[in-house]
């Protein structure tokens, strides 16, 4: 592991702020250089390298944004930029994120959080083998990618948690591919919630000919199909208690017995489980076995929702749009500035899954290569709203859109929470939280006269 210190370039014209940050850099053991104007900083950064740049946006000569843009034009290996400012307008934040800034912080700064962010960005990450292995450009997803490279050779059981649609299966696939000879080994993904309880054992463990009505021939289960590779069990929290006991035995013994069979079959699989539920709470409520919980929770990774890693939104959106361009074979799709603002400001309750469907729908229906807010979020924009909302008004505007979208889903599903949550691509708990946030309640039922 490298022992080189983290090198920070601070661009700040405020004497008190600069001195306070430099004192903290000393305490943290960071090497640093402090520039009080943008022109000197740009000249220095064009000659020397650093791990992280911390820059105020408003400077006496060049703005922090100008320094960033000019440095990116002159150097392909420009370091990550963290911008700080006392003028926290969303238009500035959106523009900086669009340009590739890592983050945008408003004064007063949480210094402890800033130091942690510097450590995260300043720690060299192992290079992942190819673009197909990239999960995102946000610091949190870069850290997860780095963690996966270290976990790949361990073979330990992994538990992935996070809201519906955050990309847990993509993380599982990446972990599998990073393993030794990953592309040549099987990866079997199973959605436990989609399999009827009566069929789950036969699907996981297989069955012998004649084991039950309709079993005309023997069949290998998912454990056998994944032998030598990875078995991904999604929504493991939906598994019935009786099946949990059988899963625990299979994990402990590395064997499965087919339904209707007697001979245990040895299987070597790496097990990755995922859920949007809080398994710890389920254990306390008696709905999930504690021994199974500890068995599958050897390594735990939480995958954050899109609203906690907005740097990834435009990166993912462009990726999905490029996929659609390749399929259609026409001109590349591009987002208008208003569309990018809308994408960054929308809450994305369905996370990556919702974003992907949104981009795909817009590209399929688009008559031009330019994608507008209406094309992307037409289903949730109020009628006649157009694209007039800007700045802070856009946040309030999209808040209204989210409320209407949730109300429409609830009404379409007769206010059944479970079905409405599934339609929205979020958990029941998340739906309840959003209903409380927006003050949504089921209309009083009218009694017949």
pLDDT tens digits, one per residue of 407-425: 888 887 788 887 788 778 7
Tokens found for residue 78:
């420009």
Candidate from 282-296, 321-335, 407-421 with smallest mean pLDDT: 407-421
Fill in the DSSP letter of residue 287. S
Is the pLDDT confidence value at 70 over 50?
yes
Note the pLDDT of residue 234: 95
- Mean pLDDT across the chain: 84
**Euclidean distance between CA atoms 209 and 123, whole angstroms:** 56
Residue in this structure with the two tokens 């999209």, named with its chain if needed: 398
pLDDT in tens, 385-395: 444 444 445 55
Percent of the chain with pLDDT over 70: 88
DSSP bridge pairs for 234: 191
Res. 354 pLDDT band, cuts 50 70 90: very high
DSSP 42-104: HHHHHHS--SEEEEES--SSS-HHHHHHHHHHH-TTPPPEEEEES---HHHHHHHHHHT-SEE
Domains and CATH numbers, the chain: 7-122 (3.40.50.2300), 131-302 (3.40.50.300), 307-402 (1.10.8.60)
More confident residue, 48 or 189: 189
419-432 burial, b at 16+ Cβ within 10 Å, e below that, comes to ebbbbbbbbeebbe
Q: What value does the mean pLDDT take over residues 194-200? A: 91
Q: Report angle CA 111, 114, 116 to the nearest 5 degrees.
A: 115
pLDDT band at 398 (very low <50, low <70, confident <90, very high): low
Q: Quick check: 306 and 355 in contact, CB under 8 A?
A: yes
Residue 305: pLDDT band (50, 70, 90) is very high
Q: Are 317 and 355 in contact (CB under 8 A)?
A: yes
Q: Residue 31 has which token pair?
A: 């090497």
The pLDDT confidence band at residue 63, using thresholds 50, 70 and 90, is: confident
pLDDT band at 206 (very low <50, low <70, confident <90, very high): very high
- Cβ 86 vs Cβ 15: under 8 Å: no
């Amino acid at each position: 592991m490298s022992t080189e210190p983290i090198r920070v370039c601070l661009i700040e014209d405020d004497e008190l702020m600069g001195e306070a940050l430099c004192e903290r850099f000393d305490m943290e053991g960071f090497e640093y250089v402090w520039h009080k104007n943008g022109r000197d900083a740009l000249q220095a950064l064009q000659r020397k390298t650093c791990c992280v740049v911390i820059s105020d946006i408003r400077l006496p000569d060049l703005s922090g944004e100008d320094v960033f843009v000019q440095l990116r034009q002159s150097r392909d290996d420009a370091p990550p930029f963290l911008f700080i400012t006392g003028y926290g307008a969303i238009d500035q934040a959106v523009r900086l994120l669009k340009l590739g800034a890592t983050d945008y912080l408003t004064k007063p700064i949480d210094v402890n959080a800033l130091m942690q962010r510097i450590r995260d960005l300043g720690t060299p990450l192992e290079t992942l083998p190819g673009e197909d292995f990239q999960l995102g450009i946000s610091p949190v997803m870069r850290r997860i990618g780095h963690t996966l490279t270290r976990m790949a050779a361990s073979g330990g059981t992994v538990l992935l948690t996070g809201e519906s649609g955050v990309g847990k299966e993509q993380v599982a696939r990446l972990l599998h591919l990073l393993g030794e000879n990953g592309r040549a080994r099987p990866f079997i993904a199973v959605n436990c919630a989609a399999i009827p309880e009566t069929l789950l054992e036969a699907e996981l463990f297989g069955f012998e000919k004649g084991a039950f009505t309709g079993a005309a021939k023997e069949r290998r289960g998912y454990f056998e199909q994944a032998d030598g590779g990875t078995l991904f069990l999604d929504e493991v929290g939906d598994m019935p208690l009786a099946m949990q006991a059988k899963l625990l035995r299979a994990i402990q013994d590395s064997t499965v017995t087919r339904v209707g069979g007697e001979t245990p079959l040895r299987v070597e699989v790496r097990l990755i489980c995922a859920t949007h539920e809080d398994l710890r709470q389920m254990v306390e409520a008696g709905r999930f076995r504690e021994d199974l919980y500890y068995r599958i929770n050897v390594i735990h990774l939480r995958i954050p929702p899109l609203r906690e890693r907005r740097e990834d939104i435009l990166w993912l959106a462009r990726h999905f749009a490029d996929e659609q361009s390749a399929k259609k074979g026409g001109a590349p799709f591009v987002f208008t500035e208003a569309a990018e603002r809308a994408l960054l400001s929308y809450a994305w309750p369905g996370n990556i899954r919702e974003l992907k469907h949104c981009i795909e729908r817009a590209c399929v229906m688009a008559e031009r290569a330019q994608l507008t807010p209406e094309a992307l979020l037409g289903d949730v924009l109020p009628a006649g709203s157009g694209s007039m909302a800007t700045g802070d008004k856009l946040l309030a505007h999209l808040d209204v859109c989210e409320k209407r979208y949730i109300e429409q889903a609830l009404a379409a599903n007769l206010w059944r929470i479970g079905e409405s949550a599934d339609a929205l691509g979020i958990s029941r708990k998340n739906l309840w939280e959003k209903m409380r946030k927006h003050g949504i309640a089921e209309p009083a039922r009218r009694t017949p006269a």
